[in-house]
Amino acid sequence: MQNSSGIKDKVVVITGASSGIGEATALLIAERGAKVVLGARSPDRLEALAARITASGGEAAYAPTDVKRREDVYNLVGLAIERYGKLDVLVNNAGVAPISLLDELRLDDWEEMIDVNLKGVLYGIAAALPVFRRQSFGHLVNVISTAGLQIIPTMAVYAGTKNAVRTITETLRQEAGDKLRVTSISPGFVHTNLANSMTDPHVKAQIVDRMEKMAIPPAAIARAIAFAIEQPAEVDVNEIVIRPTAQT
């Protein structure tokens, strides 16, 4: 049932699929023959993306998904099984970044990052892992961030959530055994809507300015994700860090 390599006919669930890295990944792998199952909070954008994929001859299903709600994530994985009979890959991509200095005590923003960036990934693992075990194959791809590799002011909680995911991802890799693959993708500055989640206007303006000066397109990250997915079953690409050439 499982392809030994390549992307064609693999069933891939993507969270945060309605824009940015998630959208670019869905378009790329659908073009290469994957069956994509798309989750995000915006049903209109999901519907438009799925229509774009099917109009180009691809296969796509979608469900409105808030990764803060574990039942939404379970339902998204369930949709993949119901529609296509298996799950080859789960891409945990949904993320928010309302960054700020700790002194500002933006507790609601802290909780949002923990709920989406950390708990949302855990819900994805919880939904997919039993399926992967039953099938004796599967691939978990977590989109993390270079923010956790180079710690700077305003990033405390954001980088904290990303490094928690990095730790969980590496532990899962060690626990996964010889049938499951686990990959972490750490993007640097990418042209996405991530700044829209930032509530501090000064910080948001700084980030948008840096994005405009150096950010790379989401398709660059999509290609890295596709590279990990298309490897033969016995090859596990554990970690990819991908930054703009201009990013220090």
Sort strands 180-187 and 138-143 into parallel, antiparallel or unpaired: parallel
Q: Which of 62, 84, 123, 158 is catalytic?
A: 158
Q: Quick one: DSSP state of residue 57?
A: T
Helix (H, G, I), strand (E, B) or coil at 217: coil
CB contact at 8 A, 65 and 75: yes
Of 24, 18, 1, 33, residue with least CA distance to 225: 24
Of 114, 117, 246, residue with least CA distance to 194: 117
**Alpha-carbon distance 85 to 50, whole Å?**
19
- Token code pair at residue 40: 């995000």
Query: What number of other Cβ atoms are within 10 A of residue 35's Cβ?
Result: 23
**Alpha-carbon distance 129 to 243, whole Å?**
30
**Alpha-carbon distance 195 to 35, whole Å?**
29
In the residue annotation, 62 being an active-site residue is answered as no
CB contact at 8 A, 165 and 144: yes
Chain-centroid distance of CA 218 in Å reads 12
Half-sphere exposure of residue 169, counting CA atoms within 13 Å on the CB side? 30
Point out the residues that are catalytic. 158
